[in-house]
Copies of this chain bind each other. A is one copy, B any other.
């Protein structure tokens, strides 16, 4: 009986990698897990509800682990914002490439802009919450700039300008007006300012399906230069 010492309930006879299956020392894809956790947290609790510790907790990892991948909280949020801008830019580009005359391209981008914000509220708000982002983050500024280039180019086409060179003051005005209207609409919708009206007129779907098209009639278009109210 030298070496028997039987453990009654028996370990798996030979399950391949029992130990690793139970608790691997390395996570495997911590980077992606932390990003997913962060997106979930800001969706549930808002951007301010995010903490690095909570993200680590959800990824099943110690509080010091995220530093290896993102440095600090700002670094992780900046990465999430960067990915958001990339999706955002892709959505605008897809809308633009759906074709049509410049007015239609701009209109479609406006729809896409607001739709992205309403479909991705937490990411959208994070993308513009500078205080929580690292301005030196690799790729963030560029992803942001890229998104708006599609918008700018549609305005240039609308005003008969090439994609390079200075914008005329009129074109600047049109760009700012177009950007402001979709950005403002998105923020007001996310703040719930249209909820009461939508409730009375067909539910929340009315915001995208009915209100937005009505509001986007006021997007810049070639013959919209306003004479009145301009001193």
Contact = CB atoms under 8 A, between A and B. Distances in A.
A104 B229 contact: yes
A229 B110 CA distance: 11
Contacts of A230: 213, 217
B170 A214 contact: yes
A91 to B, nearest CB: 18
A168 to B, nearest CB: 10
Interface string A31-61: 0000000000000001010000000000000
Number of copies: 2
Nearest to A169: B214
A228 B176 contact: no
Contacts of A101: 228
Name the residue in A176, A182, A211, A226 with the highest tally of chain B Cβ atoms < 10 Å from its Cβ: A176
A55 to B, nearest CB: 18
A217 B221 contact: no
A180 interface: yes
Contact of A182 (B104, B184, B213): B184
Contact of A219 (B169, B176, B187, B229): B229
A210 B215 CA distance: 24
A89 interface: no
28 contacts: A128-B187, A128-B191, A130-B192, A169-B210, A172-B197, A172-B214, A177-B185, A177-B215, A178-B218, A179-B184, A179-B188, A180-B181, A180-B183, A180-B184, A180-B188, A181-B181, A181-B184, A182-B184, A183-B188, A184-B185, A184-B186, A213-B230, A216-B229, A217-B226, A218-B218, A218-B224, A218-B226, A221-B229
